[in-house]
Amino acid sequence: MTKKMTARQVRDTVEWLVVGGGIHGAYITRELLEAGVPQEDIVVVDSHGELLTSFRQKARACGMETLRSNYVQHIGPNPFGLQRFAEARNREEELASTRNSQPRPTVALFLDYADHVIERFELDRVVCERTVTGIERDGSLVVDTTAGTIRAERVVLAIGHGGRYRRPPWGRNVPRVEHVWDNTAHPTGTVNEGETVWVIGGGITAGQVATTIADCVERVTICTRHPLRKALREADPRWLNWNYIEDQLHSLPAGSSARLDRLKRARNDGTMPPYLLRELESLSNITVRQDSIDTVIRERDGLLVAPRQSRCENVDRVVLATGFEPIFEHPFVRSVVNSLSLACGHRNVPVLDDETLAWRTETGECSPVLVTGALAAGTVGPFAGNIPGARRASERIVGEYVTGNRLKRLA
């Protein structure tokens, strides 16, 4: 493995600074390097100090064995790179066949291929372990981090969902009520044999946790506000096509409530893929209850769960699979918006240039802050925060600022 940067090696002025070393940060960094940007002109600042840590931890914490997306979605340059990687190592059985779709890789295969790409492109060399705390403008961008300031010509925000997990008021600071991402251990290591567990949420993470722990515990109840809904993907695959995105999303004013409504309707949030639903149905100690919780009371030997529409129940543990707090309202994002006077629309959605993903200023110019991941959903569409969104966003950003014919005049 290549070595990541130490604090001393980080230049104090760079061309490109990528905030976040997740799937999106890794993807665009590889694209920038491939497009000819020299290694010394790029720095990736990540709180974990290593690429893909957040994804690795979350995949393990919910017991995910295969990805929801298919084998052409990964951080490498060639859509069939992961398939070839599997074939060359006799690991084709790790490509799970999927009805009406291409196969899905196991998490292990996906991550081994990601490590292969990281090594091949020496992506680790440009990563430094810091947290970005603010961004200001003084000619170039002045990026404040937990270990000093770095000046950059352009900043790519690739911060994912920002690491704030949604917790209902009754689930805060109660022992034995934990959010699934609070732990980085496999879920079977966080429960005890013979326990009864309630899993709150009706999406893929809830299904994943429930099926993973079902073997070790006495009984699992999935408590969901809505009936379980089936969807293979996070959205209709037509949303992978940029022309379709332009037609369906960019035809509506940037930042408008109409655009956000269309985006919301397009996302299959709170759904489970059919293979997971089948597994859920096959496990006799999993019950699905359509309800919501009013309160949870701590008792001497467990918890008393009080649902709104059914009787109270004594349980040993509650696992929240309730997703993330909205990234548009993340305190770090709000601070960048304020210090750089960036434009926001309905519910604080960033107003981006639909062609280049540059965040517009309040006066309408393109700032040198470029956006990928969930924060770019208003322009990239319902797959923005997913793996395919990384490719879509990088195509626009790298195409515009590195390989494109047009040289964008930055505000």
Ligand X SMILES: Cc1cc2nc3c(=O)[nH]c(=O)nc-3n(C[C@H](O)[C@H](O)[C@H](O)COP(=O)(O)OP(=O)(O)OC[C@H]3O[C@@H](n4cnc5c(N)ncnc54)[C@H](O)[C@@H]3O)c2cc1C
What are the residues binding ligand X (CB under 6 A)? 19-25, 45-48, 53-55, 58-59, 62, 64, 67-69, 73, 131-132, 158-162, 332, 373, 385-387
Neighbours of 65 (CB within 10 A): 14
Q: Which two tokens stand for residue 365?
A: 């110019």
* Residue 153 host element (H or E): strand 148-157
230, 209, 233: which is closest to 221 by C-alpha? 209
What is the DSSP code (8-state) at residue 349? -
Closest to ligand X by CB, 70 or 248: 70
The residue assigned the tokens 């690739």 is: 158
The DSSP code for 161 is T
Q: How far is the CB of 194 from ligand X (least distance, A)?
A: 27
Q: How far is the CB of 294 from ligand X (least distance, A)?
A: 28
- Minimum distance of ligand X from residue 24's CB (angstroms): 3
**Residues 6+ positions from 144 with CB-CB distance below 8 Å:** 132, 133, 134, 135, 136
Name the residue nearer to ligand X (CB basis): 46 or 124: 46
Nearer to ligand X, 295 or 335 (CB): 335
Q: How far is CA 208 from CA 64, 100, 234, 279, in A?
A: 6, 21, 15, 10
Torsion angle (degrees, nearest 10) of CA 280, 281, 287, 293: 60
Alpha carbon separation from 108 to 32, 53, 187 (Å, rounded): 26, 14, 17
Rounded Cα gap, residues 269 and 274, in angstroms: 14
CA 21 to chain centre: 11
Residue nearer to ligand X on the CB measure, 69 or 248: 69
| Residue 178, strand partner residues | 319
Shortest Cβ 63–ligand X spacing (Å) = 9
Is residue 109 within 8 Å of residue 86, measured between CB atoms? yes
> At its nearest, how many Å lie between ligand X and the CB of residue 386?
3
| Burial classification of residue 111, based on how many CB atoms lie within 10 Å of its CB (0-12 exposed, 13-18 middle, 19 or more buried) | middle
- CA-closest candidate to residue 112, choices 74, 68, 158: 74
- Residue number with CB closer to ligand X (60 or 289): 60
Q: State which residue, 152 or 305, has the beta carbon closest to ligand X.
A: 152
Distance in Å, CB of 341 to ligand X, minimum = 19
Please say which residue, 112 or 313, places its beta carbon nearer to ligand X. Answer: 112
Report the nearest approach of ligand X to the CB of residue 227 (Å): 23
Looking at the Cβ atoms of 20 and 255, the one nearer to ligand X is 20
Q: Which residue number, 368 or 385, has a Cβ lying nearer to ligand X?
A: 385
- Minimum Å gap between C-beta 385 and ligand X is 6
Least spacing, CB of residue 163 vs ligand X, in Å? 6
Residue closest to ligand X, measured at CB:
22
Dist. CA 213–CA 211, nearest whole Å: 6
